[in-house]
Structure 1
Amino acid sequence: MKYILMFISFFMLVSCAQYKVIGKFHKYDEVFIGDVNHNLLAGVGEIKAKGENSGIICSGSSYVTYKPLFAIGCAGQRGKAPLTCTDGRLLDLDWLATSCTTGEGIGRDQDGASFAFTFGLNEKDALIRLAELKNEVKGKPDLPVYRPKEHRAEKGFATGTGFAVSTNGHLITNFHVIDEASTIIVKDTFNNREYYADLLKVDKQNDLALIKININTKKLNLVSANNSERGNEVFALGYPLIQLQGQSQKANFGRINALSGIEDDIRFFQVDIPIQPGNSGGPMISKNGDVVGVMTATLDSIITFKLSGNIPQNVNFAVKSDYALPLLRDLNIDNTKNTEEYSFTEIIQKVEESVFLIISK
């Protein structure tokens, strides 16, 4: 019994470990040092590291995505470590383990800046390696402090999508896309023209906004979603991650999975349409060619992992069109539901020029 208790105590002790992590941006004069609190039994870790020059702190959870077959130990395991920084920066990191407590990885932030890191060092070795990294990046430009609202137009982050709901230039988008913006620009990517927009109405509670540009537009048919059902095929048009994917309009396809959102919020649909930052405010369109929702949010993978231990897959949400219709009450627009169904290819060809890139400054 004595030896069993000693073994259990030792096993519990080594199942949780703390060690150093260090990293650097390749093109900036910035290095990071911090800690990983690693639960070896669960295969997860909590990471927190601080920039030596900028002082920003990046933190998040790491998890295993691949384990080699028939492997003894942890060498060869791979995983992800999505981190959020105090300046709003997002780091998407991939790592490779060389043992159960050591490894290295690479990744990028939301603007594409590459980042490399090493973990599993003791305090002494970490400080030595940190000094080496400082010499490697010395003389490079300072890391730009990330301010999404001030740099959305330049960086592409937090741009969004909007769609025409009248023939007179009225567009619907998400409120969070234009929140606190002093200038709203609407870009027609098909004709490569930009227009300044006026903000007419907002519905902060439902994350919706009505804006207007001074041109004639081809309106989409925004209708009540009260006949929508689970399993209905739908698609979204929008402008996701333009800094990486470019400014050509993207179409993404899926189904309605639930008639309510997080915690059974009846204002939302849960859908498996894959969306990214930049899809916000775009139309969710049915096989009838009607807009039945406004793409709004994706389930936060880091928070979900912390709460459940699982990573969500394509769990996204759209505000039901019924909550956007009140914004149009003064416009006297006829929004009769279509009864015929079409192929998605046919619908896209008809409606693509009614969907715009939104840039707020």
Structure 2
Amino acid sequence: MRKWAVALAALWMVMGSPPVSLGAEGVTLPKDLPLPTDASVAIYLPKHIREFRNPFRSGGGFQTTNALQLGASFEELTLGAAQHFFKTSFMYEPTGTPAFGLLVAIHPSLKREDQQVIATAHYQVYDGGGASLMQGDTLIRWAPGSPARGPDYLGNLSEQAITRALTEIVAQLRPTASKYPSQGEAAVKIEKLIDREHPAVSGTGFFLNRSGQILTAAHVVHDCASVDVHYGKDSVAATTTANSALLDLAVLETHANSEHFLRLRDHAELAESVINVGFPLQTLMTDTPTVTRGTLSSRAGLSGSVGQFQFSAPIQPGASGGPVVDVRGNVLGVAVGTLNASELLKSGVLPQNVNFALESRYVEKFLQQHSVLFTEGSADAHAPGEVSIDEVLPAVVSIKCYQ
């Protein structure tokens, strides 16, 4: 049961009650507007946020891992807040959404800053015909020592930010069913609703051929509303044309002619020198590729994985989907993951440079199955012809997934 229900109950009064003030922001709900209003609202949340649940520990005293719990999902938090303002509220889907009078796109976030936890919610509002009505941002801070309102204080903070956003919308628009009548599925393109300033996921890929097809990890482009590919000074939109959750592979179509592409080589050798190229930590670092060197350290990947090998070249978040190449620039595998060092540290183990890539022979089978053109490199690990890494870099791209 959500702990904030009692605390917020006084905020949601029906007609005849005094105006409701929401603190320092000074947002006041008009007392002549009955709540919940009869206007219907569809709410858009990014897919990766809709299903997210904040972890928290319950109880007091000595804590064990058994005390770790998951709070309500952001979808549950948002619809729980919306029911106090609107009689009819539901999540917006790209297809099949019922008729609505208002469409609210909300992009909530949580961050820590100066020992405070900050919950924000950027919002945009459209009417049933797709016309833009308003937009804004809300912010709620929590500092150590402040009332937490239950163990799931992160969930509570997020809901307060979302509630503040809905309060501002209702206070300014004063929505009713007659003012904003429900219409059929609006002509609101999904591109209007996504957050272009903050990619939901970022990753790496590389050109497979001159036709502009790109290979990356499937989890990088999973559930994306829009995908952009950046290489050199250019940026193009991309669509997923083939994917495999089992292999964690996806092919993107860009229709961009590329003179630079990488060749695939199977039969990698143990202890062979390898190079990983990727775009890690794209929100923190400049949009230039990072090159790391190591060796192929094991022919086995994670337990239960298919066709993975282990390599020691260090990688960071955002490098998924990048090529693991030999000294001649041939792709030996596609980077798909790394061990979670922070979790293993809890058990007294500190792994270093334990990363995994999908072998090229599995990549080739996947591409053949989906009729994607690629070129094979020399299968001889000892063949002459070492190339400069500068010949590899132009074929490697950064990928941004937006929701």
Equivalent residues in 2 for 1:153-168, closer than 5 Å: 154-168=197-211
Shift of 1:143: 5.9
> Is 1:322 paired with 2:365?
no
User: Any conservation in 2 of the 1:241–1:278 contact (CA below 8 Å)?
Assistant: yes
Percent identical pairs in the alignment equals 25
Distance in 2 (CA, whole Å) between partners of 1:220 and 1:107 is 46
Equivalent residues in 2 for 1:206-245, closer than 5 Å: 206-217=247-258, 218-224=260-266, 226=267, 228-245=268-285
Q: 1:152 to 1:229 in 2, by over 3 A?
A: farther
Equivalent residues in 2 for 1:341-356, closer than 5 Å: 341-342=385-386, 346-356=387-397
User: Any conservation in 1 of the 2:108–2:162 contact (CA below 8 Å)?
Assistant: no
> Is 1:294 paired with 2:334?
yes
Shift of 1:216: 1.2
- What is the match of residue 384 of structure 2? 340
- What is the match of residue 227 of structure 2? 184
User: Any conservation in 1 of the 2:263–2:374 contact (CA below 8 Å)?
Assistant: no
Aligned letter for 1:161? T
Q: 1:45 to 1:164 in 2, by over 3 A?
A: same
Distance in 2 (CA, whole Å) between partners of 1:259 and 1:37 is 46
Q: 1:36 to 1:348 in 2, by over 3 A?
A: farther
Distance in 1 (CA, whole Å) between partners of 2:68 and 2:312 is 31
Q: Deviations over 1:143-180 (max 9, x none)?
A: 689xxxx9785324521111001011011001111112
- What is the match of residue 322 of structure 2? 282
For this pair of structures, how many residues does the alignment match? 260
Aligned letter for 1:247? D
Which structure: greater strand fraction?
Answer: 1
Distance in 2 (CA, whole Å) between partners of 1:33 and 1:333 is 50
Distance in 2 (CA, whole Å) between partners of 1:36 and 1:298 is 34
Q: 1:270 to 1:243 in 2, by over 3 A?
A: same
Distance in 1 (CA, whole Å) between partners of 2:58 and 2:400 is 36
Aligned letter for 1:222? L
Task: Report SS of the residue matched to 2:375.
Answer: coil
Give the gaps of 5 or more residues in structure 1.
1-28, 57-86, 94-104, 119-128, 133-140
The TM-score with structure 2 as length reference comes to 0.53
Root-mean-square deviation (Å): 4.6
The TM-score with structure 1 as length reference comes to 0.58
Shift of 1:311: 2.8
Task: Report SS of the residue matched to 1:159.
Answer: strand
Distance in 1 (CA, whole Å) between partners of 2:142 and 2:65 is 18
Give the gaps of 5 or more residues in structure 2.
1-24, 26-55, 78-106, 121-140, 149-158, 164-192
Distance in 1 (CA, whole Å) between partners of 2:116 and 2:294 is 28
Q: 1:143 to 1:48 in 2, by over 3 A?
A: farther
Task: Report SS of the residue matched to 2:146.
Answer: helix
User: Any conservation in 2 of the 1:159–1:357 contact (CA below 8 Å)?
Assistant: yes
- What is the match of residue 146 of structure 2? 130
Q: 1:209 to 1:332 in 2, by over 3 A?
A: closer
User: Any conservation in 2 of the 1:38–1:46 contact (CA below 8 Å)?
Assistant: no
Distance in 2 (CA, whole Å) between partners of 1:301 and 1:287 is 28
User: Any conservation in 1 of the 2:262–2:395 contact (CA below 8 Å)?
Assistant: yes
Aligned letter for 1:178? V
